[in-house]
Amino acid sequence: MASHADEFNEADRRDFLVLAGNAFAAVGAASLLWPFVQQMNPDASAKALASTEIDLAPVKEGQAITVLWRGKPVFIRNRTAAEIESARKVELDKLPGGADAADENRVKKGHENWLVLVGICTHLGCIPKGQSMGDAKGDFGGWFCPCHGSHYDTSGRIRLGPAPRNLDVPPYEFVTDTKIRIG
């Protein structure tokens, strides 16, 4: 039998019950919190990855169009030979992303003139200028974000300014020679 003093110092059945009870209450409260956090995440209708098909035939060389995909603008530019050449002349070690940022890796083989990009500045989410004929295209002939001054080149890569990443290339494929499916 335990002495009287031990009854107070050693963990007994009551301590175990208190600890276990509190632990259950804490885990229960935390599990209840999760639905309140999770309800704010994108819902099923937002997640449904709608894919968009776009006919590129009317877009002439040097022109660009903007389409909407998942609520985001997507830039599609039919680049001129000069634009492609200037994008390929850049030394890759000067670019964030290294070899992945090579122009060849940002377009589909056989369709090198078509550049497809999520048209959202990777700095703070503005839509860069450069899609319309009269727009400022920045120092590198691609796009220029008016919000905080990021310059993108003709491959959509960040060359000057605060943006941390190149413009993203969305998942897409050529369905026919003049039609793409984004998503």
Within a 10 A sphere around the Cβ of 88, how many other Cβ atoms? 13
Distances (CA, A) of 137 to 60, 149, 168, 178: 18, 11, 18, 26
Quote the least distance from Cβ 101 to other proteins, whole Å. Answer: 12
Distance between CA atoms of residues 160 and 145, nearest Å? 11
Quote the least distance from Cβ 147 to other proteins, whole Å. Answer: 5
Q: Catalytic residue, from 111, 123, 148, 151: name it.
A: 148
Radius of gyration of the chain (CA): 27
Which residues are at the interface with other proteins (CB under 8 A)? 37, 40-43, 46, 66, 68, 70-73, 96, 123-127, 129, 146-149, 160-165
111: annotated active-site residue: no
**Nearest Cα to 135, choosing from 162, 178, 127, 163?**
127
Quote the least distance from Cβ 139 to other proteins, whole Å. Answer: 11
**Which C-beta is closer to other proteins: that of 77 or that of 123?**
123
- Grouping H, G, I as helix, E, B as strand and the rest as coil, residue 88 is helix
**Which C-beta is closer to other proteins: that of 165 or that of 181?**
165
Distance between CA atoms of residues 154 and 86, nearest Å? 7
Q: What is the largest CA-CA distance in the chain?
A: 94
Within a 10 A sphere around the Cβ of 138, how many other Cβ atoms? 22
**Which C-beta is closer to other proteins: that of 59 or that of 160?**
160
Quote the least distance from Cβ 42 to other proteins, whole Å. Answer: 5
**Which C-beta is closer to other proteins: that of 42 or that of 110?**
42
> Which residues are known catalytic residues?
148
